[in-house]
Amino acid sequence: MECGCGKTMAGGCRSCLLREVSGRLCKDGHNSAICKSKWRSSPDIPSGEHAFLDVVDNSSLKKGEVRVIIELNFRAEFEMARAGDQYNNLVQKLPEVFVGKVERLQSLIKILCSAAKKCMKEKKMHMGPWRKQKYMQAKWLSPCKRTTLTPVLAVGDSARLRPKPKESMLTVDLLEMMPNRHCMTAVQVV
Ligand SMILES: [Zn+2]
């Protein structure tokens, strides 16, 4: 569980927290991994990297591979110090922890980033490039390296033989791990 930083999970180390949560999900039979995305700079956005979790479910022949992204600091990613009430209210509606498919993540990013843009425009302030939709998308949607902590998990065909894990179980697992994080319910952005 130690990442070498000397801190503990409770000490606020993100790397330790990612390992701990991913490890527990694996232990419960989920194909969970730490994903490290990395992207180059482009005329629009600077380069960067980001770490988050995912769970890949291959158990359904019908649905094929289902990938669920888990971002433990989802709301914090969108907080802005000098934003207006309208934007802040929107951010407050976000779950602290995001658990969901890529499509849902994409639509949330779109909504939040266009709201941020509007807010900064109204305040006549410059918006940092790391607030742009392209940058936010790069964090979770650019090519990433998946690191699985426990190599015992079956992938591909053999995974289909395992009992089908339910998505709701995942939510329960996370809630048990983080009892003070109760904002896991689906976000409703109007
Ligand atoms: Zn650490």
pLDDT in tens, 128-160: 999 999 999 999 999 999 998 755 444 444 444
Distance 61 CA to ligand 1 centre (A): 38
Structure tokens at 161: 């033989």
Map tokens 């697992």 to a residue.
173
Find all residues with CB under 8 Å of 74, minimum gap 6, and list them.
Answer: 94, 95, 96, 97, 98
Backbone CA torsion sign across 79, 55, 103, 138: positive
Q: Is the pLDDT of residue 122 over 50?
A: yes
Other beta carbons less than 10 A from residue 63's beta carbon: 10
Q: How far apart are CA 190 and CA 141, in angstroms?
A: 24
Distance 155 CA to ligand 1 centre (A): 28
Q: How far apart are CA 171 and CA 4, in angstroms?
A: 29
Distance 97 CA to ligand 1 centre (A): 19
Structure tokens at 151: 């190599």
Distance 42 CA to ligand 1 centre (A): 31
**Residues 162, 59 contacting (CB under 8 angstroms):** yes
**Across 3-23, average pLDDT:** 80
Distance 22 CA to ligand 1 centre (A): 14
Map tokens 């904002």 to a residue.
183
Q: Is the pLDDT of residue 182 over 80?
A: no
**Across 106-123, average pLDDT:** 96
Q: How far apart are CA 95 and CA 103, in angstroms?
A: 16
Determine the pLDDT at residue 151.
Answer: 53
Q: How do residues 44-57 score in pLDDT, each as one tens digit?
A: 899 999 999 999 99
Element (H, E) at 133: helix 133-141
Distance 21 CA to ligand 1 centre (A): 13
Q: How far apart are CA 172 and CA 161, in angstroms?
A: 23
Greater model confidence, 112 or 170: 112
Find all residues with CB under 8 Å of 179, minimum gap 6, and list them.
Answer: none
Q: How do residues 61-102 score in pLDDT, each as one tens digit?
A: 898 999 999 999 999 999 998 899 999 999 999 999 999 999
The gap from C-alpha 138 to its chain's centroid, in whole angstroms, comes to: 12
Distance 52 CA to ligand 1 centre (A): 14
Domain locations along the chain: 14-173
